[in-house]
Amino acid sequence: MFSGRIDISKVEVGKMFKSVSVERIFASAWEKGYICQEDWEILLSNLADENAQILASRLMHAIRRGRLKIVD
C-alpha cells in the first residue's frame, strides 16, 4: 500500500536539479553578462549531455570575444 511518502536520495535530487540548471545557468549568464565560477563548473560537469555541450560552446565563444566574464 502507498504511504504517500517518496524516498529520494540527495544524489537523485541533485541530478534532477542539475539537468534543469544548465538552461538556467545559460539564460542567467547571457542576461547578466557574466557567469559565476560555481555555475561554470556545474555546466562543465554536465558536458555528457549534448544540450549542455552546445550551451557551453556558446558561452565559451562569448567569453573569448569578451562579451561574457567568469566571476567568483
Give the tens place of pLDDT for each residue, 26-54. Answer: 999 999 999 999 999 888 888 888 888 99
Instruction: Report the pLDDT value the prediction gives residue 11, as an integer from 0 to 100.
Output: 43
The total of structural domains in the chain comes to 1
Answer yes or no: is 3 within a domain.
no
Q: How far apart are CA 69 and CA 5, in angstroms?
A: 43
Answer yes or no: is 46 within a domain.
yes
Answer yes or no: is 58 within a domain.
yes
Answer yes or no: is 16 within a domain.
no
Q: Which domain holds residue 64?
A: 32-72
| Whether 28 contacts 39, CB under 8 Å | yes
C-alpha cell at 26: 545559460
| 3-state class (DSSP) for residue 2 | coil
